[in-house]
């Protein structure tokens, strides 16, 4: 039985501590994964030594050889020769000897006094927790060289280790909560966690992009209802990010201006699709919205990513984001009852190492729900050639969100 536990207060060189009185405590799970507590108020429940427990589970070291002596090599990236895009092949998962009972909630805090721990979080209570995903699509395995090699000596078959990191962000210890219901104080802590992780992961060797996102709702395949999001630190620019960066760089070269700024200014000039304005933030339905419901939330000031937001912008974001989520959960009504919106939300942040001056932070929230019980499916044209067809108009989406003000 391997139980390694080391606890450090945060603030390693190069990674900022969180602001707004949030205390960050880093610890290590039994298999070596990192877990960070983000406590937002006295008595700093999860970070406090009296409440913080070591991980008692008999998890094998994730980098140790398996029973057959095979050393895990981690997930792989393969270059699709037809598109030039990297695809993660994550079938070679790490040791999966330990699995919690099927009915257990792995994101719940440890049960007080329990001798056995079902889930991932050793503390008996917490505010916000971030930890490395146990079965990651991206993972840096010690000793594995981060370089491109050719499979079978074929020039078109390029492969490299899928270094990077996949993290889980628990928004609340309450499994019945959702991000919409956590309140502004806790939302602020989530923002601090996103900003902290973005800064830390951007500074990590080999990371090209940090994408923080939330999938919510069984309609998009979420099986774990505990409120949580994810963070992917990718060792390459995702295809859509690369496309967005190319458009922003082209706009800069042609006009000398920031594309995101000009997009926002145009939306504010006409206001047709602006759905929400606060002191520091603006939400609008984009001119060419592709999804049945889609909103972009952007800061008024030009900033590349979440770590660049100042204190006032973060505080305002907490309440503005909650208001946006409130309206989204009222968007569809079925038989006089609001239908909680299944959604995907993602922070489009500046890449870690390139194009940062051309990028402007934005949050994209979108849904595949067309109407109560009706989904937009990504069929032939979308999934086959990425040609998009919307069955509604951006102006209709905006009008609905405006009337919910």
Residue 404 touching its own copies (CB under 8 A):
no
Helix (H, G, I), strand (E, B) or coil at 275: strand
Residue 357: CB minimum distance to its own copies, A: 17
Which residue in 40, 124, 132, 214 binds its own copies (CB under 8 A)? 214
Q: Where are the alpha helices (DSSP H) in 100-182?
A: none
Which residue's CB is nearer to its own copies, number 27 or number 178? 178
Residue 234 touching its own copies (CB under 8 A):
yes
Which residue's CB is nearer to its own copies, number 116 or number 388? 388
**Residue among 19, 50, 22, 21 at smallest CA distance from 36:** 22
- In Å, the largest CA–CA distance within the chain is 65
Residue 154 touching its own copies (CB under 8 A):
yes
* Catalytic residue from among 92, 225, 226, 228: 228
Which residue in 104, 148, 247, 312 binds its own copies (CB under 8 A)? 247
Taking CB under 8 A as the criterion, which residues in 6-45 touch its own copies? none
Residue 70 touching its own copies (CB under 8 A):
no
Taking CB under 8 A as the criterion, which residues in 117-146 touch its own copies? 137
Residue 353: CB minimum distance to its own copies, A: 16
Beta-bridge partners for 296: 284, 364
Which residue's CB is nearer to its own copies, number 333 or number 378? 378
Q: From its phi and psi, is residue 335 left (phi > 0), alpha (psi between -120 and 50) or beta?
A: left
Tell me, by CB under 8 A, how many residues bind its own copies. Answer: 79
Residue 42: CB minimum distance to its own copies, A: 34
Six token digits for residue 396? 């209709």
Which residue's CB is nearer to its own copies, number 63 or number 135? 135
Which residue in 80, 310, 311, 334 binds its own copies (CB under 8 A)? 80
Residue 221 touching its own copies (CB under 8 A):
yes
Q: Contact, 31 vs 139, CB < 8 A?
A: no
Residue 107 touching its own copies (CB under 8 A):
no
Taking CB under 8 A as the criterion, which residues in 359-398 touch its own copies? 364, 366, 375-381, 383-394, 396
Six token digits for residue 293? 């419901």
Taking CB under 8 A as the criterion, which residues in 300-359 touch its own copies? 344, 346, 348
Rounded CA gap, 249 and 6, in Å?
A: 44
Given the rule CB under 8 A, which of 9-17, 44-52, 53-61, 234-242 is the region that contacts its own copies?
A: 234-242
Which helix (H) or strand (E) element contains residue 266? helix 259-270
Burial state string for 131-168 with b = 16 or more CB within 10 A and e = fewer than 16: bbbbebbbbbbeebeeeeeeeeeeeeebebbbbbbbbb
Which helix (H) or strand (E) element contains residue 189? helix 183-202
DSSP 150-170: EGGG-TT-EEEE--SEEEEEE
Which residue's CB is nearer to its own copies, number 54 or number 93? 93
Given the rule CB under 8 A, which of 57-65, 109-117, 226-234, 318-326 is the region that contacts its own copies?
A: 226-234
**DSSP label at residue 42:** T
- Give the distance, in angstroms, between the CA of residue 342 and the centroid of all CA atoms in the same chain: 16
Residue 178 touching its own copies (CB under 8 A):
no
296 noted as active-site residue: no
Residue 242: CB minimum distance to its own copies, A: 9
Position of tokens 């959960």?
329
Query: What are the residue numbers of the active site?
Result: 228
């Amino acid at each position: 039985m391997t139980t390694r536990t080391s606890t450090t207060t945060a603030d390693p060189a190069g990674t900022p501590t969180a602001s707004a009185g949030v205390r960050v405590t880093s610890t290590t799970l039994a298999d070596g994964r990192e877990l960070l507590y983000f406590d937002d108020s006295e008595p700093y429940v999860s970070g406090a030594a009296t409440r913080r427990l070591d991980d008692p589970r008999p998890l094998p070291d994730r980098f140790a050889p398996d029973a057959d002596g095979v050393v895990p090599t981690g997930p792989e990236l393969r270059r699709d020769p037809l598109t030039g895009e990297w695809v993660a092949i994550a079938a070679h998962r790490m040791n999966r000897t330990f699995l919690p009972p099927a009915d257990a909630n792995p994101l719940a805090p440890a049960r007080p006094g329990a001798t056995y721990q079902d889930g991932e979080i050793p503390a008996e209570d917490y505010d916000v927790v971030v930890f490395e995903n146990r079965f990651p699509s991206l993972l840096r395995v010690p000793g594995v060289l981060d370089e491109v090699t050719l499979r079978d000596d074929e020039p078109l078959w390029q492969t490299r280790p899928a270094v990077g990191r996949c993290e889980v962000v628990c928004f609340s210890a309450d499994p019945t909560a959702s991000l919409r219901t956590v309140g502004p104080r806790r939302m602020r802590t989530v923002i601090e966690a996103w900003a902290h992780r973005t800064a830390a992961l951007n500074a990590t060797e080999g990371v090209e992009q940090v994408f923080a996102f939330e999938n919510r709702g069984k309609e998009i395949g979420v099986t774990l209802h505990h409120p949580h999001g994810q963070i992917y630190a990718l060792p390459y620019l995702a295809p859509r990010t690369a496309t967005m960066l190319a458009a922003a760089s082209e706009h800069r070269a042609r006009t000398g201006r920031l594309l995101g700024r000009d997009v926002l200014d145009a939306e504010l000039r006409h206001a047709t699709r602006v759905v929400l304005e606060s002191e520091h933030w603006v939400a609008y339905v984009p001119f060419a919205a592709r999804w049945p419901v889609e909103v972009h939330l952007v800061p008024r000031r030009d900033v590349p990513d979440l770590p660049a937001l100042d204190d006032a912008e973060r505080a305002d974001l907490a309440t503005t984001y909650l208001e946006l989520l409130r309206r989204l959960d009222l968007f569809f009504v079925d038989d006089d009852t609001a239908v909680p919106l299944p959604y995907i939300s993602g922070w489009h942040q500046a890449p870690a190492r390139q194009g940062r001056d051309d990028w402007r932070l934005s949050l994209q929230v979108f849904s595949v729900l067309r109407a109560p019980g009706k989904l937009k499916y990504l069929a032939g044209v979308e999934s086959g050639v990425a040609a998009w067809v919307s069955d509604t108009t951006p102006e209709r989406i905006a009008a609905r969100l405006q009337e919910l003000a």
